[in-house]
Amino acid sequence: MELRALSSILACGMAVPERILTNADLEKLVETSDKWITERTGIKERHILRQGEVISTYAVQASREALKQASLKPEDLNLILCATLTPDFLMPSLSILVQKELGAVKAGAFDLSATCSGFLYALTVADQFIRNNPNWKILVIGAEALSRKTNWRDRSTCVLFGDGAGAVILGASENQSGIIDFILGADGSNWSLLTLKGGGSAYPPFDPELPEEEYFIKMQGREVFKIAVRMMEKIALELLERNGLSSSDLSLVIPHQANLRIIEYLRERLELPQDKVFVNIHKYGNTSAASIPIALCEAEREGRLKKGDLLLMVSFGGGFTFAGVLMRW
């Protein structure tokens, strides 16, 4: 059998807006408290776009940082893949804006929508290209501006989300590092628990039939929570089991940062100490498709990832979508 190249993360970058919205700021907007938000979610603050800013600015910034770290030029890129559900425009895509801004003249570019699992979905798509084209270099981005789709009058959702971008460069591995296995999952049977209807084609703009609140993220949080904990655990255990591994083999787990209690539940089910599960939700809130690449970048910068480490990334999101990626760093 022909031996295909493993794809590995050659470099990463991240960028978040300067503006910080603290729990104290939210206390002035809705009936909530720092105590409630901290205890129920683990979030202390989040970065959000200022009026007039766009998320492509941060996607480009994160990408430039990743290119620099990989010692690559924009024209070395063969493909740009951007996971997002909040692009600057519906057309052109966010990845095209990044392509133009970087001057990545030899790259194809497209967006991918898989909600909070978007980055892991995009990473596995890029992995397939690398396995068949070992010379390719692919820029994989997760970028979100959820603050633009947040109902600032709904206290059950507005405390949760933040904006930001993370980017990685994927290329063929020159050693034993790289993506070992992955799971992509989807279950549309409960789609109505988490929605963002306005802006899609079901309702034309300014449709009087659509209540104003439907132009923002709507969620039945408690129900979403139950699905999230069940699926995160299932995917993590399945990936470990089919690769003949146990959780003690893992050097680090990077879960989607949606709620500290969901992360803690996963950690307990995997029987892992706190230092083996990466958490930065207190600083950024839930940045959807950007959450895992931002966390990955911070983990790398903090020296939490060393060559040869076994890394598990796991996510869930609206739809519902689920994903897990197991890789050797």
Per CB under 6 A, the list member of 80, 116, 170, 231 interacting with ligand COA is 116
Residues 243, 247, 253, 255: what is their CA dihedral angle, to the nearest 10 degrees?
Answer: 90
Q: In whole angstroms, give the CA distance from residue 71 to residue 137.
A: 12
Residue 282 interacts with ligand COA (CB under 6 A): yes or no = no
Is residue 289 a contact partner of residue 116, using CB atoms and an 8 Å limit?
yes
Residue 156 interacts with ligand COA (CB under 6 A): yes or no = yes
- Answer yes or no: 243 catalytic: no
The residue sitting closest to ligand COA, measured at its beta carbon, is: 221
- Answer yes or no: 47 catalytic: no
Q: In whole angstroms, give the CA distance from residue 204 to residue 98.
A: 28
Per CB under 6 A, the list member of 221, 237, 264, 269 interacting with ligand COA is 221
Q: How far is CA 70 from the centre of its chain?
A: 21
Q: Which is nearer to ligand COA, 76 or 264 (CB)?
A: 264
The total of other beta-carbon atoms located within 10 Å of residue 110's CB is 15
Residue 155 interacts with ligand COA (CB under 6 A): yes or no = yes
Of 179-198, binders to ligand COA (CB under 6 A) are 194
Is residue 229 a contact partner of residue 266, using CB atoms and an 8 Å limit?
yes
Q: Two tokens at 269? A: 């089910």
Q: How far is CA 271 from the centre of its chain?
A: 24
- The one-letter amino acid code at 243 reads N
CA distances from 311 to 218, 268, 289 (A): 32, 17, 18
Minimum distance, C-beta of residue 262 to ligand COA, in the bound complex (Å): 6
Phi, psi of 238 (to 5 degrees): -65, -45
In the set 23, 256, 259, 280, the catalytic residue is 256
Residue 247 interacts with ligand COA (CB under 6 A): yes or no = no
Residue 225 interacts with ligand COA (CB under 6 A): yes or no = yes
Binding track over 35-74 against ligand COA, x by CB under 6 A: -xx--xx---------------------------------
- Answer yes or no: 158 catalytic: no
Q: Which of 210, 199, 112 is nearest to 149 (CA)?
A: 199
In the set 116, 158, 280, 297, the catalytic residue is 116
Q: Which is nearer to ligand COA, 237 or 260 (CB)?
A: 260
Interface residues toward ligand COA, by CB under 6 A: 32, 36-37, 40-41, 116, 155-156, 159, 194, 219, 221-222, 224-225, 228, 258-259, 286, 317
Q: Mind telling me the catalytic residues?
A: 116, 256, 286
